[in-house]
Structure 1
Amino acid sequence: MENHSFAIYANKVEAHLKKPSKTFTKADIMKLVEDLDIKMLKFMYPAGDGRLKTLNFMLNSVEYLETILTSGERVDGSSLFSFIQAGSSDLYVMPRFSTAFIDPFEEIPTLCMICSFFNRDGQPLESSPEYTLTKAMKAFNDVTGLEFQAMGELEYYVISPDEAVFPAVDQKGYHESTPFAKANDFRTRCMKLIAECGGQIKYGHSEVGNFSEEDLCYEQNEIEFLPVPANECADQIMVAKWIIRNLGYQEGYDITFAPKITVGKAGSGMHIHMRIMKDGKNRMLDGNQLSTEARKAIAGMMDLAESITAFGNKNPTSYFRLVPHQEAPTNVCWGMSNRSVLVRVPLGWTSGEDMCHKANPIEPETARDYSSKQTVEMRSPDGSADIYQLLSGLCVACRHGFEMENALEVADATFADGDIHDPKNAERYAKLAQLPDSCCASADRLEKQRKVYEQYDVFSPAMIDGIIAQLRAFNDGNLRAELKDNEKGVFELVKKFYHCG
């Protein structure tokens, strides 16, 4: 029976070892190498540019494999992170066995693992994005007694030669089926590989954005994940982006996660859904209403919303997406099932109705608890984000909400129902804070609120300094105004950051 249950596991390593990834040990990895005749090992780790880096090992002997798994390897930290000086740049990278997956692209049998960074004293690198998230999750748990979980929505464009047959309707690609959506098959192949490499996928679909330009077809797609502990969410997003790009390269597609690729068309976000858990139970609801804990977490995000963009919107094109009428937020507010607000509370199956029975009358009526499905969604981030920094910032913000004496008042004051673009709501939204309009403005907000992020030693001062310097270096304070109605100028800017994150 146990073997049968693992036969349906998409994760190839879990299926082979017949155990969940969280329980993988060094002995498991060594057995896997022997069983599958693995010839190479690949260490992968996120660097300062938000992309996975790679170190390849040729396996010569069992002894060498054991050494690599036990001691890791040295890398040049100054080439990976801007805040590390060349004079003291050596870092260790240590593989995390729970992240092991079979490389789906290598002809030589290769096992990949994501690594953590350690300093010369063998301690976790304080300023590494991955360890920052670990610290943020611990501080959240210490303060609230709850676990912070998250899931991401990856939006991206697939660019291919245009076809005259079955043309798509411009900006009407949401959930479109083939043959009007040409990239659906590519997306499903991506989903299969992501799942085989450990990604917990919820679903995938075509998105709103599609258009043709200069004999090229641009189709927006989305892959959404299931909620998991936030550090696992970050790892899955990193691997998923790597897989989508690699498969696109193999199949002759150009892929971009850029937040904006042309004027007047939908940009790509990376929305983050969150929930707070205790003893395996979702604490976002109290009955069929949002819980006090959820409202406090939302209040924290409202209070820090403007500086969260420093982690989730990392280049000037990010702020060309955060404009009205493009399904992207501009005001600091939240609402129920409202896609024009910054933080959306999506439908959570709270009606108590048995929709399964109503759709399928021969099914018996059942009472089921759907409370695990309720999340809240932050809609400002995009594909330029450093996913570890972003989830760390959101985790800090949710914790901050529990520490705010006026959290529930802030939640009430920032609640906004109704379309923000409807003139009848103009007076209400005019009273709300606005998201930053540039990297420079985002850096200013982070500078003002940095103490909250540095509390409990979550974000190191060196990391905050580095982020602020990186954002200010774009010198884009007036860029949106300068490029207004300048499509050529916007296109040149987009090209510069086309493969961000």
Structure 2
Amino acid sequence: MTVQVLIHNDVLEKIAEQKISYLSFWFTDIFGELHSMSMPSYAIDKNAFSDGFEKLDASSIRGFSSVNKSDMILKPDPETFRILPPDYDQRRKNARMFCNIYQENTNESSRFSRDSRAVVEMAEKQTREFGITHTFWGPEVEFFVFDSISVYPSQYGATHSYGGSGYSIESAESPWTKNISTAIDIKEGYYPSQPKDTMSSLRKDICDDLYDYFGIKVEAEHHEVATSGQSEINLHYDRMLPTADAVTTTKNIVKVKSKRQNKVATFMSKPIYGDNASAMHMHQSLWNEDTNLVYEPNDSQANLSQMGRYYIGGLLDHASSICAISNPTTNSYKRLVPDFEAPVNVCWGIGNRSAAIRIPMYMNSHGKSKRIEYRVPDPTSNIYLLEAALLLAGLDGIRRKIDPGDPVEHNIYKLTPEQKRNYGIRSLPQSLKEALDSLGSDNKFLASAFSTDLLDAYCESKYKEHRIFSQTPTAWEVSMYADI
């Protein structure tokens, strides 16, 4: 199926031509969760693209607005019109558009400050003063697909009628399965062949739909290192907003297609103790028209420009506070531990996967492919806020000429504390609370795109998550301490 970029009247023509029954209007909250409202196609006219829909009760969306300031407008972006795959509705033909969110009217001055797409657009405008015409982003989206997850939740422990709390994971690939032909041991899931890779067909189905229906190009798909269906889809690089929309679409279709096959997909970073967790590495490059500003052919170390080094300096300088956005759950910090291919230390390296920032060395002298890979984020992050935070941190590094120091060549996991001090390597936060505290003291670099009320609402909710987590006894604690 050929995907066309449409505007205004073209969308209405496409709806009639393709006999679309319903239009779904998508938007995300400040935590990146996708929301949708649908309308029959006969209820859509050209005024929808100028006036929007008075259909949003913002007080019912977590982190959006209070009940006394809840009326908001959803204005569809016609360029994001796409026909949805049959897995979304097998009885009728549907399409979707992403929406921008407004207060009172659809003048730009009325744009809702907690609209994630607005944050990306505002951040991208800051590139102009640096001679940057656009940026490219290439995310690696990792996730697990299980046969089932059974959760036994209870905030009251064993006194509750549910009989306590805990969870179990079932997967044909799990080492605890009895099916030896598909079992993958802990940390042995990288690039297995069939039949052990039971997710191969599902991943290909997902990638086909991403391209055929959404026009989202995929560079590669494969099984990841962990057992139990850990997968990765590498999206082809694109500009900021299309990339963020693509990641949101990818996460949704992964869940929808998994559900259709009676499986459950999760972007939770670390669901399995002792195994690798899911990341979302972000590749970034800066451009002036056709010139890659990160590339410098005369640089002997990594063909990296001075602007690129300053950009890295900004990312490293703000890495701790960015963690509140890039790693936004209590579970995120169970991934950021040594020896699981996840970064723990704030430094950069050339082809070094133990560093927070890696300069890929494939095709090193090829200017078009020169990029900076930020390895800290995981897929629970709001991709819109993440892109904006990374860009603004990097631009702050360019503005302030922050030197990132020399690249670290060693396996950083093996360095002693004294060696790390000598290299000037500090550690990333070890908990969500530490990250939020860092964001509270280091957020001025975000001010051009992140409103104070957005950051306040975001941090308030995340601090609450941490408090509940820290006060809730776990099954591990009960088994460890109950007989004391």
Q: Same fold (TM over 0.5)?
A: yes
Deviates more, 1:393-402 or 1:116-125: 116-125
Distance, in Å, in 2 between the alignment partners of 1:439 and 1:140 is: 30
8 Å contact kept, 1:440–1:477: no
Q: Which residue of 1 aligns with 2:458?
A: 467
Distance, in Å, in 1 between the alignment partners of 2:130 and 2:461 is: 31
The one-letter code of the counterpart of 2:52 is G
Q: Are 1:89 and 2:70 an aligned pair?
A: yes
Distance, in Å, in 1 between the alignment partners of 2:28 and 2:437 is: 26
Q: Secondary structure at the match of 2:198?
A: coil
The one-letter code of the counterpart of 1:55 is M
Q: Are 1:66 and 2:46 an aligned pair?
A: yes
Shift of 1:175: 1.6
The within-5 A match list for 1:28-427 is 28-60=10-42, 64-74=44-54, 75-104=56-85, 105-107=88-90, 108-122=92-106, 123-160=110-147, 161-162=171-172, 163-196=179-212, 197-210=214-227, 218-287=228-297, 289-351=303-365, 370-405=366-401, 407-408=402-403, 411-412=404-405, 415-423=407-415, 426-427=417-418
8 Å contact kept, 2:182–2:198: no
Distance, in Å, in 2 between the alignment partners of 1:350 and 1:382 is: 26
Shift of 1:70: 3.6
Shift of 1:81: 4.1
Shift of 1:466: 1.5
Distance, in Å, in 2 between the alignment partners of 1:263 and 1:487 is: 17
Shift of 1:303: 0.5
8 Å contact kept, 1:94–1:116: yes
Change (3 A) 1:254 1:333: same
Q: Which residue of 1 aligns with 2:150?
A: none
Distance, in Å, in 1 between the alignment partners of 2:427 and 2:199 is: 36
Distance, in Å, in 1 between the alignment partners of 2:419 and 2:440 is: 28
8 Å contact kept, 1:438–1:476: no
Shift of 1:232: 1.1
8 Å contact kept, 2:282–2:373: yes
Q: Are 1:441 and 2:434 an aligned pair?
A: yes
Shift of 1:374: 1.7
Shift of 1:57: 0.8
8 Å contact kept, 2:30–2:458: no
Q: Which residue of 1 aligns with 2:443?
A: 450
Q: Secondary structure at the match of 1:442?
A: helix
The one-letter code of the counterpart of 2:450 is F
Distance, in Å, in 2 between the alignment partners of 1:97 and 1:320 is: 40
Distance, in Å, in 2 between the alignment partners of 1:281 and 1:479 is: 49
8 Å contact kept, 1:310–1:467: no
Q: Which residue of 2 aligns with 1:496?
A: none
The one-letter code of the counterpart of 2:196 is F
The one-letter code of the counterpart of 2:101 is F
**Stretches of structure 1 lacking an aligned partner (at least 5 in a row):** 1-9, 15-20, 211-217, 352-369, 490-501
Q: Secondary structure at the match of 1:286?
A: coil
Shift of 1:135: 0.5
Q: Secondary structure at the match of 2:231?
A: strand
Q: Which residue of 1 aligns with 2:156?
A: none
Shift of 1:102: 0.8
8 Å contact kept, 1:144–1:402: no
The one-letter code of the counterpart of 1:235 is D
Shift of 1:348: 3.8
Distance, in Å, in 2 between the alignment partners of 1:319 and 1:484 is: 19
The one-letter code of the counterpart of 1:66 is K
The one-letter code of the counterpart of 1:262 is I
> Alignment RMSD, CA only?
2.3
Change (3 A) 1:268 1:488: farther
Change (3 A) 1:264 1:138: same
Distance, in Å, in 2 between the alignment partners of 1:53 and 1:469 is: 21
Shift of 1:149: 2.0
**Stretches of structure 2 lacking an aligned partner (at least 5 in a row):** 148-170, 173-178
Distance, in Å, in 1 between the alignment partners of 2:123 and 2:358 is: 23
User: How many residues of Structure 1 are paired with residues of Structure 2 in the alignment?
Assistant: 436
Q: Secondary structure at the match of 2:98?
A: strand
**Alignment TM-score, normalising by the size of structure 1:** 0.82
Distance, in Å, in 1 between the alignment partners of 2:294 and 2:362 is: 10
Distance, in Å, in 1 between the alignment partners of 2:338 and 2:116 is: 31
Shift of 1:121: 3.8
- Where has structure 1 moved over 6 Å in runs of 4 or more? 482-485
Change (3 A) 1:478 1:127: closer
8 Å contact kept, 1:297–1:398: yes
8 Å contact kept, 1:99–1:198: no
Distance, in Å, in 2 between the alignment partners of 1:129 and 1:258 is: 21
The one-letter code of the counterpart of 1:103 is L
Distance, in Å, in 2 between the alignment partners of 1:300 and 1:316 is: 25
- Deviation per CA, 1:445-494: give whole Å up to 9, x if none: 1111111211xx311010111222122223459959x98975979xxxxx
Shift of 1:169: 3.6
Change (3 A) 1:439 1:488: farther
Q: Which residue of 1 aligns with 2:175?
A: none
Distance, in Å, in 2 between the alignment partners of 1:380 and 1:477 is: 25
Q: Secondary structure at the match of 2:146?
A: strand
Distance, in Å, in 2 between the alignment partners of 1:487 and 1:154 is: 34
The one-letter code of the counterpart of 1:330 is V
Shift of 1:29: 0.8
Distance, in Å, in 1 between the alignment partners of 2:319 and 2:41 is: 47
Shift of 1:274: 0.5
